[in-house]
Structure 1
């Protein structure tokens, strides 16, 4: 029998060398196979995911380009409508006679429009079945004008903008606004913009994407815009793919002229154009390979770490298991110490379970208690923990918080303070209610009324001061204690009072321990508005640093007032700061909405640092917006000054100093803005206007003398006038008159 038992144990000897070898080989084979399958699956999924993301990014990029393109075209249509309703243009279109003053004003208006819109090449009019160019930076030849005239007469509505291509290959987009005798009829009169597509595409594709090619086709297949030089063959193949979807594979690959691309296309939302994005397949493949390589390195690093951990765990498990099996073989008995160890582990496990259940229960009751204290609901009833009458008890509410919010310490700190209070006020029940949203916690201190220890206010305050004096890492602890609560219905009111005391920490004015008496000693008068006048003045003048210093002084100066007055004052100040950036004053309703918004934001802040950051951010935003508004107003004044110059350039006394003084701008800054707007200096611009008028006067009147022409145009010196005229036009005034 003994030999039989030995034979059985020999077959089941897990510690034998042969058994360990077989198990090791089995684990390696199974683990290796599982690893190969897992790596293959992960990388297969990653490749598919990467391609989907590249395609999704391409579509999103096309949507953004479509939005910008449509915005540009809408802008030009809007400018067409505005120009069409200008009195001078309206008069010109409907009139068959020539008027020098009207034609001059019309030309100046259109010239300014072209200057401000750099992509518009020229502006023309269509009337009496004829198209002619009025002004432009580059004038078309007769063949192009005839083509425009033909296409306009064949158009059915104003949304049919068309593309022209010059012999040099330059494309132009014709946008027009016309009047027609009937719906889809032939146009009778109108205004035309010719947009240089090369300049428009430079604006549209200002930020190039490496490895990406973008092209926009019209609904007839004509290429409009592109960020790369597409060949005619490439454009033809792409348009065929859009028309019949030939050559478009399931994985969104397309081959054009021997090059492989990831292909994405979409129709425009408004006008029927087609947008195409080609992403170089080799570039995307290289990026995917790089991402795969990085993922592989991370995967292998994690795998090595897991294997190392597994080996360490195997060593920790294998040797105890070997010893356990040897005990079984020798039929050894379990000792009393092992039984005691088992009971100890069972007890520890039970304690952990009870602790977790207790924490879950505490969280549930905390939410119920805080909900009742904030807004009592008779339907739900009073939480058991707050009941006083049935048990003949009274209580104190104590709200604790930290000077600077530290969420990681709130739970630990509440348990420590609870333990200290239990030792200091023996015989009392101490309950903790944690307010996770506020990073504070409420302690409910209850006792039977006959004990009457917590009714000694001085005794309780002394204990709380000893607790709050134990600050950690410079972060002080504060608390607010209510008066003794005898009735359950008084609990919500007591809680609201100590919660209001907590907010005094917002201005850094709170003592470590506060009671309801501290609320009664504050000044409840209205805080004078003169306190924030210096702050508003600094913001108006753009002195951000001075305004921040003033706001810090202000927060100290309002400390004697009640917190309710302080909240009202600060919310009103926030509205005043916000209002400084508005060009139009707020009406009563808007003011009230702003006031309530700022009031809620300030009331939700936790400490003085947050309050300072709130107002500093408000000041920064207001100063920045004021700066933008001032800059905008200055530019509007420069535009107004151009109108003034147009009316007074013939006056010999006009100069940059007088114009700058009239519009209340410094001479140097006005000169800088003038150069940015016009592209030339003030004297150059005045001379250009005077010479243009003199040329027109010489053309229109052959009798008037050269000297008189110079005087009327604003030149006081005849020789200077002649020299400037020859410099601009290549002829002296008299020479120009001879060639007419």
Structure 2
């Protein structure tokens, strides 16, 4: 007994899914609103940090300039002391006297008293502090530490720091020394011991309590500071400052949070640090965050209400839709074999789709490479030739337009069977303008190209009998893969010979290389243009058919240039555009583009025939308008001069400048009377009026009406009115 597999059925049209739909919308709304809130908060905090960093950088730069300026001042003061004659004499000699000692003491004391920040000044000579003057006298331990640190210096721009733990005094030292060698130990000079606390209050003073400043030397020793900091905090600040060059960092010290900005000065190898207490700002930001949460909650509530409304609006049509689906088919239990077959069919379909995608990718790569300029695209691996391999490149086009994909694949399969010893490849876009086939052969076989073309011709002939409209152009054997692009372009160009009936099935490209590479003589085109200018449409079309056969012997580019000139001249019959103008060139290029996009011989002939018809219609219309105008002028002249006996066809035709015979023919077509009949009618009508109103003799009436003789007048009058002129007068007199 076969075991049935139970299938869970889900009724999506059930009313409970309106709540699922609403919950989904609400969840999406919450995610979107939360994401926007988080992004806005992050952006706002980043914006605040950026502005704080810009402001802090300016303030820190000002502090750096102030400190460097003060240190430069001390360096100048030390230089002046060093150059003072009494001090210099003491430094370079061991001799001393009371007066010299008194002068040295006076200078050193003046430097200390005049500044207010110097605790003491020192004269240094060869490893000993020779003389110390100031408000404070250092202990032996401090003097020893000063000597050690001074001897470790390499130049006068260095600053060192000493912390006297006994007196809780911090001092940093500036000096002017003479050295025996570059970066060598100092030999003699002067130095200042500067009170750190006093000068920090002066140099690092800030109007805002949120800001505090510190200055470190390159070893991380604190040189200047506004506040008393613990050693652990100093090390933490120095470490963060070293890592924060050029950026803003957050730093927590105790219960407070700071923004830290640092700037390094290479003049004295000092690192300047600004700390900004942001505890208050965090409180403000917290309050802002709480207010924002209230607005977010309101937005979420509104979004939930809208989501519920939208869900109910969507639910009804969705319910009808799924009910309709469920009425057509229901999911039922099926045996395992059915499920296995479905899986197999699905797998085959997936594999087929993957294969089709892969084939299309290769096609796009190959066709893109062939259409690209040489050297600008990478060659696809499928076009790379193996050793001793050669290839025939076949370029396929349709005689009616785009290439039918089914016809292209059918031809490919048929060629694969007919050319069993060769490897065939096809590259064709779906409903593209062309397709490409490759016939690959090992060079050892050495098959003649004509033999391969003969086999392909037989295959294509069978395909054409089955309704195919493809034709092929074949390249020479390609042995160098770098020739693919040039051969492809050559075949594209040669495919245009189908417009002249040159390509029917399979064409060897070599037959087109013997075409004339010279401009088409204008004398071949002129007879058609002249016939069109004369309005002779039939002759112009007959000459065009002959012209196309003559043009097929020229190179295709020369033909298109000749036909573009030919088309422009035909259009110029009606448009009348001067040759050496931009407009003429635009018309020429328009025809060149249109001609080169034509597909077959019929399209080319129809294109040229339409131009001929338009030109002839314009010529004939113009001629007809001109003839009618001339005939009106002739009638006006006749009506004014019919009383003159010498009026003749020659006289009137000369007035309107046409031949007498052509005038007579056109006059009869328009008036439906010959010239003598029309003139006699005018004269007889005038004579009848004279007979009614004037007391003139018949002879006088004949002369006034324009007749040269009385007998001819009487005969013509009787012919029209059925009576003689005399009788006509008597009858009209009686009736009156």
The TM-score with structure 1 as length reference comes to: 0.42
Give the number of the structure whose alpha-carbon radius of gyration is greater.
2
Q: What TM-score results when the alignment is normalised by the length of structure 2? A: 0.42
> Relative contact order, CA 8 A, sep 6+: which one is greater?
2
